[in-house]
Amino acid sequence: MGTTFSQMVPPSPPLTEKNLPNQSGKVFIVTGGYSGIGYHLSAILYNAGAKVYVAGRTESVALKAIEEIKASSPSATGSLAYLPLDLADLSTIKASVEKFESLETKLHVLWNNAGISQPPAGTTTAQGYEAHIGINCLGPLLFTQLLLPSLRASTDPSEPASTRVVWTSSLMVDLSAPTGGFEMNAVQNPPKDPIANYILSKTGNWFLASELGRVVSPYGILSLTQNPGNLKSNLLRHSWWMYYLAFPMLYDSKFGAYTELWAGLSPMLDMAHSGAYLLPWGRVNSEPRMDLIYASRGTSEDGGTGRAAEFYDWCEDQIREFK
């Protein structure tokens, strides 16, 4: 309960635009980087001198956001560019990665920031997957895996864990995820309740971060997930009643950018934190739910249930034809 309360009322952020080192020479991708948390994160990175690719589906909105950021910081030395990305259509993601690879040879940090929360019941992706699973899990996993060559190219043996993949989870995982995570039947036959599907997908993000960590750790790439915090953003645009009910406990979305900033760039994180779950506004969760930790362990021999691996393998099966 103490950890849950501290996520709702966090201590001051340890890493902000005020003490962020210069990021010149670094290349970053922020999915959903033109609104809410992603907008603030893109602006902070741009002002720190980085080359930032703002990835998302709506080009006009992205270009407007880019111009706004540039206009607000005329002396910034970074760069901003739009990268087309539709996480709701797996058949388009490879082209997005090829576009990036035509422009860059390295990628230092990928922030899987974009996501949806509680669209109308029955909403599906282009391939017919329940929207939360498709957009929050399958699309980001395919995008991440296709970007692994660029991520590997940026690793530096003298700075282990400086290349990272940051996933986005939610406080709802701590509060409401089923014991042990979820059964695969709930993924393959999604319930009609959008809230249940959102929680499933955010638990899935932690599982994907943990399992991807096993794959990329040998290359010095750190994969982890974070709860950005309780924020005033458009994530709850489909659940206005929940937004107004929670409003007194919500923070400006810029604070969520501080959580993601710490996850992606804090020197306090190393390879020992592979698969870790981070808290607002930049802390390692020292008291994670043990049933979810057990779910993230591979087999009964190492004290785990293997549910995270089962989910990761299922996701792999769904995206394989689109690589």
Residues labelled catalytic = 169, 198, 202
Radius of gyration of the chain (CA): 18
Determine if residue 122 is left, alpha or beta; phi over 0 gives left, psi from -120 to 50 gives alpha, anything else beta.
left
Cβ pair 57, 135 in contact under 8 A: no
Cα–Cα distances in angstroms (integers) from residue 20 to residues 48, 245, 256, 272, in the given order: 7, 34, 16, 23
Q: How many alpha carbons fall within 13 Å on the CB side of residue 90? A: 24
